[in-house]
Amino acid sequence: MKKERFFSVGQLLMWAGCLLAVVMPAAAEARDIKVGIVDTYSGPAAVFGNDALNGFKLAVNEINKQGVLGGKIVFTTRDEQFKVDIGLNVAKELVLKENVDVLVGTINSGASMAISEAVAKKEKIPFIVWTAKSENITGKAGHRYVFSTAENTAMAGKSAAVAFAKKPFKKFWIAGDDYEYGHAIADAIWRNLKKIKPEVEAIGRTWWKPGEPDLIPYLTAIQAAKPDCIIFATGGVSMANVLKAIKTTGMENKIPAWIHTATDHSVLKPLGMNAPEGVMGTIQYHYYYPETPANKKFVADFQAAYGNPPGFPAFNAYTTAQLIAGAYRKAGKIDKEKFIDAMEGLKVDTPVGKVEMRACDHQAVYPMFLGTTKISQEFGGAIAADIITLQGDEVMPTCEEIAEARKQK
């Protein structure tokens, strides 16, 4: 009986949307290798996303000078805004529409694992995680199509444990961000430390909200308990807040503290000369160490291209690009399965020496550097000093452990 109303403009738009989706060109140039990058380029984590992207660009520019299998490496980026659902959207877009050959990214562990399952595994496309640090990615949730060129919580934890075992500490206090990363790293340290040195003792644990601005009261309480060493299992913005609080409470040089990636310059640089000294940190890359020609060249090129020295995400991304190029050269053709076979056990040159992609769990094997913060006039702020190198196989979970974890799942 009635009414023709509610469609027309709205419907047209919907149709237009559908059409747009379909008409978009989908063909890929077979000669070039297409890399799809999913990472965070907005919000607080964007600083790491941008750094990684710069490292990747630098490597790709070098690689493309000679080319790979007669073609080039081309890449396209998508911002996942640190959100899992957007990450899935854009990863699928890159794979299903842009037909990328390799997917890389992201800093968000949740998004990495979601993409690993819903895109990499399902679409049989290699996915290389380059910043997210969850050990589950190549651990119990690992599979043929997922790789990691990021150091993970298991490695960070084990390297700290190995380092602590060499020091006279007995009474530890564990504090950190109350989220997955914090707990994972704390568990990894304690698991390994107990194994190496059973007499150690955790006299207390404190967890705070990630990004908690004011950490002074916690540190005061911890100080009162007089531990031999404090383990801070924290990341991102909280790291800078911990360092600020260490400085303010006057804890520096009194109680040794350890934070994974505390010696990263994206953390230390904003603090300038106000960074605390004597804080231990583990990290797989410093732009000032090791002072090898390869590293010096990498830093100089990076500095020239982007105006600031590379951080660990840039190093990870640079390594990732080298691995991709190396694997395709080894495979001899652009084929996903061949690429994966070639990746397994592949060794490439990086600024810190040879890095191997371990075949059993698809985890890049890095040496880890344990350093202690020290103010340097030359750098205008704190840097890592007294650096101890822990070899990759020393800090990695063994292949047997990985197999066991995967079986449990």
Partner 1 sequence: MTRSLILSRSSFGWSAALLLVLLLVPAWAGRFTIYILAFVFVMALLAMSLNLLVGHGGIYQFHHAAFYGVGAYTAGLIAAKTAWPVWVGFCAGPLMAAAAGWVIGLFCVRLNKLYFGMLQISLGSLIWIIALRWYSLTAGDDGIHGIRMPELLSGSVTIYYFLLAVVTVCLLSLYLVYKSPFGVTLRAIRDNPQRCEAVGINVRRHQLLAIIIATFFAGVAGVLFVVLEGSIFPDMLFWVLSLEILIMCLLGGWFTFFGPVVGAAIMVTLRTFVGSVTEYWTMVLGIVLILLIFFLPEGIMGINFRNWSRRRSRRAAARAAEDTDAAG
Partner 2 sequence: MESYVTVSGLISQFLVGLSRAMILFIVSSGLSFILGVLRVPNVAHGSLYMIGAFVAHTLAMAAGGGAAGFWLALVLAPTAVALISLAAERLLFCHLYEREHLMLLLFTFALALILGDLTKITWGADYRSLVAPPFLQGSVMVLGTPFPRYNLFLLAVGPVVALGLWLFSNKTKVGKIARAAAVDREMVGAIGINVGRVFAFAFVLGCFLAGLGGALVSPTVSITLGMDHTIIIEAFLIVTIGGLGNMWGALAGSLIFGVSQSMGILLWPQFAIVFPYLAVVIILTLKPTGLLKSVW
Nearer to partner 1, 134 or 363 (CB): 134
Q: Is 195 helix (H, G, I), strand (E, B) or coil?
A: helix
Give the integer Cα–Cα distance in Å for 106 and 114: 11
**Which residue from 62, 64, 121, 144 is in contact with partner 1, where contact means CB under 8 A?**
121
Partner interacting with residue 97 (select from partner 2, partner 1, none; CB below 5-8 Å by kind): partner 1
Nearest distance, CB of residue 95 and partner 1, angstroms: 8
Nearest distance, CB of residue 50 and partner 1, angstroms: 10
What is the phi/psi pair of residue 148, to 5°? -135, 130
Residues 146-185 that bind partner 1 (CB under 8 A): 178-180, 183
Residue 8 lies near partner 1 (rule: CB under 8 A):
yes
Q: Which two tokens stand for residue 33?
A: 């290798």
* 210 prior amide bond cis, ω within 30: no
Beta carbons within 8 Å of 264's beta carbon, 6+ residues apart:
281, 283, 311, 312
Partner interacting with residue 369 (select from partner 2, partner 1, none; CB below 5-8 Å by kind): none
Nearest distance, CB of residue 323 and partner 1, angstroms: 24
**Which residue from 15, 254, 274, 354 is in contact with partner 1, where contact means CB under 8 A?**
15
Nearest distance, CB of residue 251 and partner 1, angstroms: 29
Nearest distance, CB of residue 98 and partner 2, angstroms: 24
Pairing of strands 73-79, 33-39: parallel
Q: Which two tokens stand for residue 149?
A: 């060129």
Dihedral angle sign, alpha carbons of residues 122, 125, 126, 131: negative
Pairing of strands 171-177, 201-208: parallel
Partner interacting with residue 180 (select from partner 1, partner 2, none; CB below 5-8 Å by kind): partner 1
Give the integer Cα–Cα distance in Å for 286 and 268: 12
Give the integer Cα–Cα distance in Å for 347 and 359: 11
Residue 92 lies near partner 1 (rule: CB under 8 A):
yes
Nearest distance, CB of residue 6 and partner 1, angstroms: 6
Q: Which two tokens stand for residue 234?
A: 């924290």
Residues 58-77 that bind partner 1 (CB under 8 A): 76-77
Residue 394 lies near partner 1 (rule: CB under 8 A):
no
Burial class (CB in 10 A: 0-12, 13-18, 19+), 126: buried
Nearer to partner 1, 92 or 374 (CB): 92
Partner interacting with residue 359 (select from partner 1, partner 2, none; CB below 5-8 Å by kind): none
What is the phi/psi pair of residue 176, to 5°? 175, -175
Partner interacting with residue 332 (select from partner 2, partner 1, none; CB below 5-8 Å by kind): none
Nearer to partner 1, 23 or 30 (CB): 23
What is the phi/psi pair of residue 323, to 5°? -65, -40
Beta carbons within 8 Å of 28's beta carbon, 6+ residues apart:
34, 98, 99, 100
Q: Which two tokens stand for residue 398?
A: 């063994």
Residues 19-38 that bind partner 1 (CB under 8 A): 20-22, 24, 26
Helices (H) and strands (E) in the chain, counts: 15, 15
Give the integer Cα–Cα distance in Å for 4 and 9: 13
Residues 96-115 that bind partner 1 (CB under 8 A): 96-97, 109-110, 113-114
Partner interacting with residue 183 (select from partner 2, partner 1, none; CB below 5-8 Å by kind): partner 1
Nearer to partner 2, 150 or 240 (CB): 240
> Which stretches of the chain bind partner 2, using CB under 8 A?
41-44, 46-47, 49-50, 178, 204-209, 211-214, 216-218, 220-221, 224-225, 237, 240-241, 244, 248-250, 266-267, 270-272, 274
Dihedral angle sign, alpha carbons of residues 358, 282, 292, 272: positive
Residue 408 lies near partner 1 (rule: CB under 8 A):
no
**Nearest Cα to Cα of residue 227 among 207, 204, 248:** 204
> What's the gap between Cα 105 and its chain centre?
9
Nearer to partner 2, 46 or 118 (CB): 46
Partner interacting with residue 213 (select from partner 1, partner 2, none; CB below 5-8 Å by kind): partner 2
Interacting residues toward partner 1 by CB under 8 A: 1-11, 13-15, 17-18, 20-22, 24, 26, 41-42, 76-79, 83-86, 88-90, 92-93, 96-97, 109-110, 113-114, 116-118, 121, 134, 136, 141, 178-180, 183
